[in-house]
């Protein structure tokens, strides 16, 4: 769908929002968007709250004095052309999300995150197309 908007219609695209988090690879979409200089906006960046309960992320968080959700946000922000906008209504959650900017993941952290399952899609509205077949 994004390919049609960009290549056939010529629509100017400022960013493309898709489900993207550490449990769902969006490599084909991300590669395409990067080739067109279009940033990807990650939704929902905390995997609808599942990142908070992941033991791998919790261990990485302890290492950095951070929480598992902060690690998830840091992982997204560590990637070129990826925007993360986590939902946070409470001031303390907003502050915690901003503190993710101070986390510097190392190669060991990235390797641990890389082996997490990458096929976990959580957003499935009834009107949705076959997401993984559409770039």
pLDDT tens column, 62-102:
999 999 999 999 999 999 999 998 988 899 999 999 999 99
Q: What's residue 135's pLDDT?
A: 58
Phi, psi (rounded to 5 degrees) for 97: -60, -40
| Of 73, 90, 92, 71, the residue nearest 82 (C-alpha) | 73
Structural domains in the chain? 15-117 (3.20.20.100)
| Of 76, 129, 132, 69, the residue nearest 99 (C-alpha) | 69
pLDDT tens column, 92-133:
999 999 999 999 999 999 999 999 999 999 887 776 666 565
Q: What's residue 123's pLDDT?
A: 85
Structure tokens at 13: 């695209």
Contact predicate 28/135, CB 8 Å: yes
Q: What's residue 132's pLDDT?
A: 60
Separation of CA 70 from chain center: 12
Identify the residue whose tokens are 């997401």: 131
Contact predicate 102/95, CB 8 Å: no
Q: Which residues pair with 37 in a beta bridge?
A: none
DSSP state of 103: -
């Amino acid at each position: 769908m994004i390919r049609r908007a960009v290549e056939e219609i010529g629509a100017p695209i400022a960013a493309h929002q898709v489900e993207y988090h550490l449990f769902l690879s969006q490599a084909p979409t991300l590669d395409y968007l990067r080739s067109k200089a279009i940033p990807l906006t990650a939704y929902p960046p905390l995997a609808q709250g599942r990142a908070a309960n992941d033991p791998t992320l919790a261990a990485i968080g302890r290492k950095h004095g951070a929480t598992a959700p902060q690690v998830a946000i840091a992982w997204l922000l560590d990637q070129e052309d990826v925007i993360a906008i986590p939902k946070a209504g409470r001031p303390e959650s907003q502050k915690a999300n901003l503190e993710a900017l101070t986390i510097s993941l190392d190669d060991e952290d990235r390797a641990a995150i890389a082996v997490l399952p990458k096929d976990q899609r959580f957003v499935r509205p009834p009107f949705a197309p076959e997401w993984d077949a559409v770039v």
